[in-house]
Each structure stands twice: as C-alpha cells, then as structure tokens.
Amino acid sequence: MSELLLELFSEEIPARLQVRASEDLRRLMVDGLKAKGLEVGEARAFATPRRLTLVIADVPKKSPAISEEKKGPRTNAPEQAVQGFLKSAGLASIDEATIVKDEKKGDFYLARIEKPGRPAAEIIAEVLRETILNFPWPKTMRFNAKLDGGGDLRWIRPLHSIVLLLDGKVVPFEIAGIKSGATTRGHRFMGGEPFKVTDFADYEKQLKANKVVLDFAERAATINEGAHALAKEAKLSLVEDDALAAENAGLTEWPTVLMGAFDKSFLEVPGECLTSAMKTHQKCFSLRHGKKLSNHFLLVTNLKAKDGGKTIIAGNEKVIAARLSDAKFFWETDLKKTLDEMRDELKGITFHEKLGTQFKRTERIKELASDLAKSQELCEAALALRAGELSKADLVSGMVGEFPELQGLMGRYYAEAEHIAPEIARAIELHYKPKGPTDSVPLESEGNGAAVAVALADKLDMLVGFWAIGEKPTGSGDPYQLRRAALGVIRLVIDNDLRMPLVPVLARTIIHPITLQSPQRSAAKEIYDFAKKHGSRFISRQAADEAKRLSKEGALADIEEAIDKVGDLLAFFAERLKVYLRDKGARHDLIDAVFSLPGQDDLALIVKRVEALSELLGTDDGVNLLAGVKRAQNILTIEEKKDKVSHAGDYDAALLQLDEEKTLAAAIDKVKDDTVAALAVENFAGAMRALAELRAPVDAFFDKVTVNADDPKLRQNRLHLLSQIRAATLNVADFTRIAG
C-alpha cells in the first residue's frame, strides 16, 4: 500500500472558502477513486491561504481485475439486437460469446468479460483532472492557462503548481500547461527557495521549516494562545471571538499576534460599535479592562517582522483610528435625533412591497405586543406598546447602516440616551432574540416581559405577513428565514411557559386589518370576535361578504381564505415543533399523536403532553396499552369497512354479559373522568397514570371476550365498547398515530 500526496498551490484563497474547499477536495478525490475501483484508506485534507492539500493512506498499486457476465439476446434474435449486444459487451464477433441453453425461454448469448486491473497512477490522474475541472467553487476566475480542448482553466485564484506523489514518486499529470511535480513553496515572504518533498511527513516538516503551519486548527490555536498571552501580559482580558480567530487563521500561514492601541477619547462610543469597527475592517480583536472596553486591540499578521512588528502596529493603528473616527461620527450624528424621529423615517423604507413599510410594520407589532403583554400578563401593556413602536427605529441610524449586526443594540443605547424606561430599552435590544438555536431567549422571570411580548409580536407578524402573501418556505429555500422565526416563537413560548393558544393569535393577526376598517360594523365585529375566540373557518357567508366589502387595498378580502392560511401556518408550527423536540430526543410520532387532537395549539401544553406520553410509553403498562388500543382500532376498522357503517357510539350497559366486559366498561368511564379532571389542571402525568389503568381491563377483555358474537346486538354493543377505548384515550392523545 502506498501514500498519495496532493497539493494544489495557488494565489490566496478567500478565508471563508478554505475549510469547505479542503473537504470538497477530499470528497471528490476519494469518491472518484472508489468509483473507479481503487479502494483507499484514511484521507486527510488541509488548507492554507495558498494551498489545498490532501494525503490518502493505503492506496493500492492497482485496481483489482474484474470478471463479469453480461446476458445477451436469444440466439434467434434479430441481427440488430445481436450487434447491439456485441457493442455493449466489447466483443468483436458473436463467436466470442457463449451460448447458454434454456429450454423454457430459449437459448441466449452470454458474454464473459475480463477487465484487468489498472495502475493506481493512471486512475489518480483521471480523477484529479475531473476534480479540478468540476470543483464546486462558488465563483471562479480565468487566468493564463489554456485547456487542451480549448477554453480556459478556471480556479478560485490562479493555479501555479501541483504536487502529486504516490509512494514518493511523481504521478505524471498535466492540465492547462501545469505539470505535476514534487516541488512546492513555503511562506510568501519568509519561506526561502522552492523545495522538493518526498512524502507527507517530509512535506509537513519542510513547510514548517519554511514558515507555513499546514493545519488550520493549529493556526487558530496559535492565534488564541498568542492573544491570551499578550492580554494577560498587559493585565487585560480578551473579548473571545472564535469566528474571528478562524478568519485570521484563514488569512495567515504563519500567524503572529501583536498589540496596538487607539486614543481613549473613542471610548465614549459604545464598546460594541468599536468592537464591530475593528473586527469588520481590520480583523482585530478587542480587549477589556475589567468590564469596560480597553483602548488596546490585537491584530494578527502573517509574518514575524524584524522590527518586532512596530511598523505593522503603526500602520494598523492609523487605519483603526480612521475607522473609529467614522464610528464616533455615526454615534454623535445619531444622537442628534430622537427614536421617534428615526421611526418617522421608516415611512420611507419598504419592508416588502406587498406588506408595506417598516413604519406600518411597527404599527402592527406594537398592537400585537400590547395585546400579548396583557393576555399573557408579561408586563404593562403600555410598555410593550411603546417598545414595539420603537423596535425598528434604529434601522435608519448611521451606526446600524454601517454595522447591521448592531440592530436592536443601538436602539437600546439611543433609548438610554433619551432616558426612556429601562424595560423598553431592553425590549428594543432583545426583541430579535432568539436569532438561532443556540441564542439566548429573553425571559419574563428576569424582568424582560416587554422584550418577550415584542419578540413574539415581531416573529408572528413576519410569519403571518409572508403567509398571507403566499411567500412560504420551500424545500430549496427560506429567504425570509421563516423557519427561524417559527422556532423563535416556540422557544419564547416554552422557555417562558406561556399559555398562548396559537389559532386565536394567528387568526386575529391575519383578520385584524379587515376589522380595523370599520370595527363598529356588526359583520366585521362578528368575524373578528369569532376568529379571535375560536380561530374557526365556520363563519357566515353574510359576514364574509360584508368583510370583503369593508376591506381596502392590502387587506385580505376573503375571510375563509384567511382562516385556511391560519390552519396552514399552524401545520407549519407543528413541523417546527417536531424539529425542536426531536433535537431534544422526543419522538415525532408522539408529537403527531398530541397535535392531531382538536384544539391542540398551545405549544407549552403540547410539549408537556408529549413528555408525559413519552414517560408512559416507557413503561410496560404504556406499551401494552398501546397494543390494546391499536388492536381495538384495527378491529373497528375491519368491521366498519365490512359493515359500511361507523361503530362509534355509547355501549348499552344492559347488554354487557361477561365480567371482563363490565370491568372494562367501568374502567373506561372512570378513566374518562380522571383524565379530564387531570388535564383540566395541567396534570399530564396524572392523566397518563389514569390512562394506564386501562391496561389490565383491556388485556382481560381481549383474552376472554369474542367481539364478533353470533348475536348481532351483542356484537354491535361490543364494537361500541371498543370505540369507547379509543374515545377514552383521545382525551390524552391519538394512539393510532403512535408507532409500535
């Protein structure tokens, strides 16, 4: 077995593309080799700004010989079929084929094909060519390298050389005039002359001697260690930023960390603004002195300068000063306007052509936030209303225009500068949260009730708005990040343990624009109140017609369509909830079993039901009860199909003959009452315990009772009793949707 070493040496590869590119190189080469019959061992890929490297262990000297049989046409087949067979099998004449006797279907031709193994070097060259020509760079450039068949070789940056060694020997390869060899280069400035390598160990060793750290993780670790060491030496603490360390690792082959400083007057600007400016423009790390930002920063350079880095530091300090001056200018300019003045400018900013301006959006958000604050007892409704009103004002600020990642945070700073209530200021900052599955959630228990209300209103408005105009996520895209918005609603509700049925909220949000046109009109009021209370699509035609007449441009004219959209959006929430709970280890079928029950739109209660149901099914009683319920349902399904009539209904106690029937009937009646009582006080564990009491009576019933009795009345009564098993369990979950 041999070792394969490949290096593609080019001009600087963008840092953000390097890790993905190294993995693509590994995948394409390994998959290509295996597809051509060359089974290889472990493959490791590396990337630096100027090279992609791949080393593969245990490469066989040649692919194995292949012997296969190819069945042909019958011996009496037309000549055209015979010629097609010869061509596909690679035979010169039919005499090279074997005739196989088959008395039933007729004699047919059979070709026995022997394919000898191919040298590994030949296969490697073929796969490398395919890899280079089909490499999935997001963008490529043409350079002075012409392909043999015409056209230009395209690569992310000009490709200069290729190292291709198998067992220490150069594998012959050429593309666009670039020939394979054993020679590479070290660091652009500190690497000295080109050098030859013999294998991966020698390659890695010589690269390091020529000031190139091949391993990306090692470069990132070097940056982190150097940053912490310099910070400690200066009695400062590093503002941790793994993404920035990774970016710098992608910009350097020999990373060296240096410390610079800026004028203390810039510290009058919020620290996050300075940090964003230094990170965005110069890829520099920020430092703290205690809890406050320091006027020092760390930079990462790609060389070890002879003057100790003084010139490099001075150059960076000059650029940083200019960038921080811009940030200070934005801050001071923004403070000259109030948040209300900024909000007024939102009238000129379109959120979406079909959903109006950002100003109109804040109008919707503030009303919904106020309603949620009141109904969920999160905070004073006025606080949530004011926070929702100002939530997007900072979008027109100069600071957010320069650093979009500061939206919300800058709103808080501007609110604090105006001495606006702290609860409102925090809500402006936190209402974008959670931004992802690992982001924190604002909690009412920590005094952030207004933030919870505005965060919910913001995300619900997004979802309802885009659903209303038909801009739903697809399998291939989610441009408005609606999946993230739905997950945000789920986490806000569950983490704050809110009792917030979704249907009334969604219906109210979709239909409210119509009812706002004339809230005094009885028809519009009927629609609004009915939908808010029930979220039902069963409304009078007269009311729907009146709502159409009252609606204006931009409103949803068809109320029935609006309610259908509510149902569709609720199903979307169900799918997102499955993803959320599945990530936490819950079974998706249990979510289906709970969500399919009528009126199940309270996310927090659904989660509690699923958890309790999961615990029940983890016991023997739960497993056996599930089997009994499914058996009852199967019998009902078969008999209803045969009789062409439903057997759902109450049993007749006078027709209960056997003790097992009577015991089961009594147990069902008790379980119904017990589960309803337990669910009424959200005692889901108690409801499951009550349900488990059915296990023994159900088992005994199926052991001793013949359902399809000869007496039609007795048979009908027993089928009704079976339907009551399902009815009893439906108080808790639809057991027919549970796997197992």
Residue 539 has pLDDT above 70, yes or no: no
pLDDT in tens, 333-343: 999 999 999 99
Candidates 49, 299, 396, 324; CA nearest to 189 is 49
Phi and psi at residue 536, in whole multiples of 5°?
-90, 150
Take residue 241 and report the two structure tokens written for it. Answer: 């930023």
Query: How many Cβ atoms from other residues are within 10 Å of residue 423's Cβ?
Result: 18
Lowest mean per-residue pLDDT among 449-458, 477-486, 539-548: 539-548
Query: How many Cβ atoms from other residues are within 10 Å of residue 517's Cβ?
Result: 14
For the chain, give the percent of residues with pLDDT over 90. Answer: 55
> Alpha-carbon distance 28 to 209, whole Å?
30
Task: Give me the mean pLDDT over the 373-392 stretch.
Answer: 95
> Alpha-carbon distance 329 to 691, whole Å?
67
Q: In 335-448, which residue ranges form alpha helices assigned H by DSSP?
A: 339-345, 358-375, 381-390, 398-402, 409-417, 422-430
Which pLDDT does position 595 carry in this prediction?
77
SS3 percent helix, strand, coil of the chain, rounded to 5, is: 55, 15, 30
Residue 25's pLDDT band (cuts 50, 70, 90): very high
Which pLDDT does position 512 carry in this prediction?
53
**Whether 310 contacts 299, CB under 8 Å:** no
Residue 532 has pLDDT above 80, yes or no: no
Which is more confident, 429 or 112? 429
Length of the chain: 740
For the chain, give the percent of residues with pLDDT over 70. Answer: 92
Residue 432 has pLDDT above 50, yes or no: yes
Residue 179 has pLDDT above 90, yes or no: yes
Which pLDDT does position 563 carry in this prediction?
65
Task: Give me the mean pLDDT over the 14-43 stretch.
Answer: 95
Question: What's the mean per-residue pLDDT of the chain?
Answer: 88
Task: Give me the mean pLDDT over the 588-616 stretch.
Answer: 82
Phi and psi at residue 54, in whole multiples of 5°?
-140, 135
Angle at 517 between CA 511 and CA 521, to 5 degrees: 90
Lowest mean per-residue pLDDT among 193-207, 238-252, 709-723: 709-723
Pairing of strands 108-115, 66-74: antiparallel
> Alpha-carbon distance 320 to 326, whole Å?
10
Take residue 516 and report the two structure tokens written for it. Answer: 């706002």
Query: How many Cβ atoms from other residues are within 10 Å of residue 64's Cβ?
Result: 13
Residue 401 has pLDDT above 60, yes or no: yes
Take residue 256 and report the two structure tokens written for it. Answer: 């060296």
Domains of the chain: 2-62+120-209 (3.30.70), 70-115 (no CATH), 216-334 (no CATH), 592-737 (1.10.730)
Which is more confident, 451 or 500? 451
Q: Where do we find the tokens 């606006």?
A: 420
**Whether 147 contacts 176, CB under 8 Å:** yes
> Alpha-carbon distance 253 to 189, whole Å?
11
Which is more confident, 725 or 330? 330
Highest mean pLDDT among 427-441, 505-519, 683-697: 427-441
Q: Cis ω on the peptide bond leading into residue 434 (within 30° of 0)?
A: yes
pTM: predicted TM-score of the whole model, two decimal places:
0.77
Residue 379 has pLDDT above 60, yes or no: yes
Lowest mean per-residue pLDDT among 87-101, 296-310, 419-433: 87-101
Which pLDDT does position 298 carry in this prediction?
98
Non-local CB neighbours of 171 within 8 Å, separated by 6+ positions: 121, 124, 125, 164, 165, 180
pLDDT in tens, 112-163: 887 788 999 999 999 999 999 999 999 999 888 888 877 889 999 999 999 9
Residue 258: its H or E element: strand 256-261
Residue 555 has pLDDT above 50, yes or no: no
> Alpha-carbon distance 58 to 2, whole Å?
5
Residue 344 has pLDDT above 90, yes or no: yes
> Alpha-carbon distance 31 to 36, whole Å?
9
Which pLDDT does position 549 carry in this prediction?
52
Residue 485's pLDDT band (cuts 50, 70, 90): very high
Task: Give me the mean pLDDT over the 405-409 stretch.
Answer: 96
Pairing of strands 256-261, 285-289: unpaired
